[in-house]
Copies of this chain bind each other. A is one copy, B any other.
C-alpha cells in the first residue's frame, strides 16, 4: 500500500481548490446553505474547514433562498469579488434560473463590457442512488445553451481541483457541476499548483477505432467499456471535455478525424441533451470522413425514477455505450 501514490477524494479536491483560491485571492468568498463549519461545512462537507480558516465573513451560510444566494454572488462579482455560490443540488437551480440566465450571463454584454460577473456556481447532482425525481437531474444542456455562461464538469479529483480553481479565477460566470454519487471516489492527488485551463478537453485514453466524447461521470463509464473492448481488439479513444460549453471543438474534431467514428456519452437525458450539439458539430465538420453516424448515449425519456430497478433501466450505462459502439463499428 505504501507504494501507491497519494490519492484524494473528489469532494476533497473541490475543497482544496476553494482553499487555494481563497488563500491566493481575498476577493474569493463562498455563499451557500450550511457551508460554514458551525453548520457542518456543507451537507457533503465539501466546504469543511474553510470558515474556520477564512472566517464566516468570507464563508457564509445562507438562508434557503437560492435567488438571494445567486443574486448576492452576482452583485458582489460586479464590483470585484469572485464569489463561489453553492446550490446544494442541481435541481434547485430551477428557482435561481433568472439570476443565472437573465443576469449573471448577460450583464457583461448588456453593460457593453463595463461590468463583468466572475462568479462560480458550484452544484452537485447525479442519479443512481435512489434520490428520486427532484434530486438527481443533470441540467447542463440548459446552461450550455445560454450565451455568456461557461459550463464545467470534472471526471476525477485532480481535474476537479484544477478546473474549479480555474473556474473561480475565470472572469466569466461559470457553472461547475459536481457529481454526488462519485464525491467519495478517489483518484491521484494533484500537485498544489495544478491548474486545468477552461475550454480544453483532455484525452485520458488514446485509441484508433472510435472516439468516446464525454465528461464527468461518463468518462469513468467510457473507460470501463474501452477497457473491456480492448480485449477484443477494439481501440477506443476517450475524450474528456472537462468544459462542456463552450466546448473544445478542436480536440474533439481532431480525435474524430483520426478515428472516423464517435459516440457521445452523458448521464443527462439523451433527448435534446448536450450530446446532440456535439454530434451535430461532428457531422457538420467531418461528415464525409465518418464510418458511421455519431452515436449518442444518455439517460431515458423520464424523470429520474426512485426504485433501483427502474432507475437502473432508465439510466445511461456501460452496456448502452458498448451497444452504441458495436452498432456504429458494424
A184 within 8 A of B: no
Copies assembled: 2
A38 within 8 A of B: no
Residues of B within 8 A of A146 (CB): 269
Known A-B contacts A245-B271, A271-B144, A283-B293; A102 and B91 likewise in contact (beta carbons under 8 Å) = yes
A39 within 8 A of B: no
Q: A142 near B142 (CB under 8 angstroms)?
A: yes
Query: How far apart sit A274 and B274, CA to CA, in the bound complex (Å)?
Result: 10
Q: A105 near B280 (CB under 8 angstroms)?
A: no
Nearest residue, chain B, Cβ from A275: B280
Residues of B within 8 A of A246 (CB): 271, 301
Query: How far apart sit A272 and B241, CA to CA, in the bound complex (Å)?
Result: 15
Q: A274 near B277 (CB under 8 angstroms)?
A: no
Q: How far is the CB of A137 from chain B (nearest CB, A)?
A: 8
Residues facing B in A271-287 (CB within 8 A) are: 271-277, 279-280, 283-284, 287
- List 9 extra interface pairs beyond A245-B271, A280-B280, A280-B294, CB under 8 A: A95-B95, A109-B133, A109-B303, A110-B303, A145-B269, A145-B273, A273-B277, A280-B296, A284-B295
